[in-house]
Amino acid sequence: MSVEVRVTSLLQKAIGGAKSVSAQGDTISALLDNLESSYPGFKSNVLADNGELHRFVNIYKNNEDIRYLGNLDTPVGSGDVISILPALAGGSTSCRP
């Protein structure tokens, strides 16, 4: 089964510049493995050395945070849309009108 995986501009370089790609897998973990085989180094952008999701990366299955579904064991099926969003930081320490 093929699943659409969408990424933000921070990860687009890791998948050849595209905003989304198709990937195979029956869980989020299997999907990430499939992306890693197609785009070596991809997983290091979203997973920590211990194999868990980086705390600053959010993955959504059809707009639901996988941390509340089953984390990396969250099942995926045909037609699902997976969004991978690294958190953005920055901004000003003061507000100016």
Comparing 33 with 87, which gets the higher pLDDT?
A: 33
Give the tens place of pLDDT for each residue, 2-39: 899 998 888 888 888 889 899 999 999 999 999 999 99
Rounded mean pLDDT of 41-70? 92
pTM of the full structure: 0.84
The domains of the chain, with CATH numbers, are: 2-86 (3.10.20.30)
Which residue in 42, 14, 81, 62 sits closest to 34, CA to CA? Answer: 42
CA 76 to chain centre: 13
Asked if residues 52 and 80 have their Cβ atoms less than 8 Å apart, the reply is no
Mean pLDDT, the chain, whole residue set:
87
